[in-house]
Amino acid sequence: MDDLDRAIRRNRTANVTVTLSHQGLPVAHQAIMLEQKKHKFLFGSNWGESTLALVNGELSGREKELAELRNERFLWLFNQATLPFIGRRSNPSADNHKPSVFSTLPAGMWIIIVS
């Protein structure tokens, strides 16, 4: 575990000095809000079934609102997404859902457009 911690610190951290100024003068003794906008590594998660249902026009009402909110927050936080390709849509179940591997294609295209 110590080796892992050292490797993380060596490969994923850096010492930096940041000098802030406003109108050419150094900012001192002020509260500063710092927000990271981008990074070089991919940070993400599985986009989820609700996105597939939303993009494929399968949601309405409160379900649709919640899926839209989830997607908005997902895009704010992550810069990478994986699409579910195994599950209810791709494997028939006891309630006779038909496999629909291609239902992920519209979601994949939507991700490209909105990101």
Strands (E), 6-52: 21-22, 25-26, 44-46
Give the pLDDT band (50/70/90) at residue 100. Answer: low
Give the pLDDT band (50/70/90) at residue 64. Answer: very high
Which tokens in the block code for residue 35? Answer: 């927000």
Which tokens in the block code for residue 46? Answer: 């599985």
CB of 88 within 8 A of CB of 96?
no
| Residues of the domain holding 17 | 2-114
Give the count of domains, the chain.
1
Q: Specify the pTM.
A: 0.52
pLDDT above 90: percentage of residues in the chain = 12
Q: How far is 111 from 88, CA to CA, in rounded Å?
A: 21
Give the pLDDT band (50/70/90) at residue 28. Answer: confident
